[in-house]
């Protein structure tokens, strides 16, 4: 039995950056406890095979790519991107052997520098992409920092929660000793959930002080099963958009991918990227440690036990979306808070 809801198992998931899948080489990945071997075929298209040679169960990801097919290092069997066995060294393949001896191939889509894989035949024909993911009017860059300990769902809940930022990220995002009066509004769109923070000025953390000139509101939206998009906006335009994708690797680990999008302007893209990385690097490290420590406590006690406080405005709605439920559309009443 899968550790993940059917809605998660039957979705497309980002498993790598395009630049990580190099010609002639294999790239291992793990998606919902399924090991993968990624590679580029002779035409440059990405292929994804279950990381198991059907001959003697050797990991294909340890092999090389020869003539556009992945070669198992144990006996040299080679497999095309569709899984077909194209060569058994020292032997001649009979008609039908290519399919009879095939490796397990998965559907792959490469979009805007990202590689998506579908494990389930019930996944949609194409991966869904959030707003502005490929908007040519914006500068974009990817940031990926390996696989983290913890549950993908807890990482989603973390980025949708504004109240931890003044403590865990004190000084970088917000300050717990200099809070803003804000209005929080939660809106359900049926298949997604958004929290808008209305405030009259940027936060007091270093990142906002150096990178933002104005802010009227920010919106964080959960697009199930694994995507959260946060948008910071002023009166005139978007300041920053961050799309975070939390790919479940195992029941206790996940691989986060972040895509940063900023309006084109006088500052070159490389300078904006360097500035964002400078300020966010310690924030990412703090979140990584917190999620690992949280998961360690839950493992020790055998299961999560969460108390719901006055700042937990989303209730169980994130988890219901994660499981594939739809929410009644509508908007909550504004909630005053200090962030």
pLDDT in tens, 21-68: 999 999 999 999 999 999 999 999 999 999 999 999 999 999 999 999
Sorted by where each starts, the structural domains of the chain and their CATH numbers stand as 6-118 (2.102.10.10), 138-338 (3.90.380.10)
Extract the runs of DSSP E, i.e. beta strands, from 128-226: 138-144, 148-149, 181-188, 193-198, 217-223
pLDDT at 76: 96
The mean per-residue pLDDT over the stretch 220-240 comes to 89
CB count in 10 Å sphere of residue 146: 7
Name the burial class of residue 294, with classes exposed (0-12), middle (13-18) and buried (19+) by CB atoms within 10 angstroms of its CB. middle
Q: Calculate Rg over the CA atoms of the chain.
A: 22
8 A C-beta contact, residue 187 and residue 304: no
Which residue from 221, 226, 290, 283 is spatially nearest to 254, judged by alpha carbons?
Answer: 226
Q: What is the tens place of the pLDDT at every residue in 131-158? A: 999 999 999 999 998 999 999 999 999 9
> What per-residue confidence (pLDDT) applies to 3?
84
How far apart CA 158 and CA 156 sit, in angstroms, is 5
Closest Cα partner for 232 from 276, 259, 196?
196
Tell which residue, 153, 144, 113, 120, has the closest CA to residue 13. 120
First CA to last CA across the chain, in angstroms? 41
pTM of the complete model: 0.94
pLDDT, one tens digit per residue, over 283-332 is 899 999 999 999 999 999 987 888 889 989 999 999 999 999 999 999 99
Give, for 291, the enclosing helix (H) or strand (E). Answer: helix 269-301
């Amino acid at each position: 039995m899968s550790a993940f809801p059917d809605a998660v198992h039957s979705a497309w998931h980002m498993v790598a950056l395009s630049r990580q899948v190099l010609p002639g080489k294999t790239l291992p990945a793990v998606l919902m406890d399924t090991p993968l071997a990624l590679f580029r075929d002779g035409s440059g298209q990405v292929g994804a095979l279950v990381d198991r040679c059907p001959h003697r169960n050797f990991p294909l990801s340890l092999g090389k790519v020869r003539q556009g097919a992945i070669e198992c290092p144990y006996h040299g069997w080679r497999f095309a991107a569709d899984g077909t066995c194209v060569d058994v060294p020292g032997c001649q393949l009979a008609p039908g052997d290519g399919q009879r001896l095939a490796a397990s191939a998965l559907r792959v889509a490469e979009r805007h520098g990202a590689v998506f894989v579908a494990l389930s035949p019930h996944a949609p024909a194409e991966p869904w992409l959030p707003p502005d993911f490929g908007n040519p009017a914006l500068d974009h860059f990817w940031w990926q920092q390996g696989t983290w300990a913890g549950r993908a769902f807890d990482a989603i809940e973390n980025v949708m929660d504004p109240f931890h930022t003044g403590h865990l990220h004190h000084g970088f995002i917000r300050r717990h000793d200099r809070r803003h009066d804000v209005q929080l509004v939660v809106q359900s769109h049926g298949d997604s959930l958004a929290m808008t923070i209305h405030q009259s000025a940027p936060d007091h953390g270093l990142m906002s002080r150096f990178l933002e000139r104005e802010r009227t509101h920010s919106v964080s939206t959960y697009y199930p099963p694994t995507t959260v998009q946060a948008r910071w906006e002023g009166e005139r335009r978007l300041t920053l958009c961050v799309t975070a994708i939390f790919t479940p690797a195992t029941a206790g680990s996940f691989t986060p991918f972040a895509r940063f999008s900023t309006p084109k302007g006088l500052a070159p893209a490389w300078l904006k990227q360097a500035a964002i990385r400078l300020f966010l690097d310690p924030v990412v490290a703090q979140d990584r440690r917190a999620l690992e420590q949280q998961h360690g406590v839950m493992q020790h006690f055998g299961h999560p036990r969460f108390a719901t406080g006055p700042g937990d405005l989303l209730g169980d709605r994130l988890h219901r979306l994660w499981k594939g439920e739809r929410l009644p559309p509508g908007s909550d009443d504004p909630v005053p808070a200090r962030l």
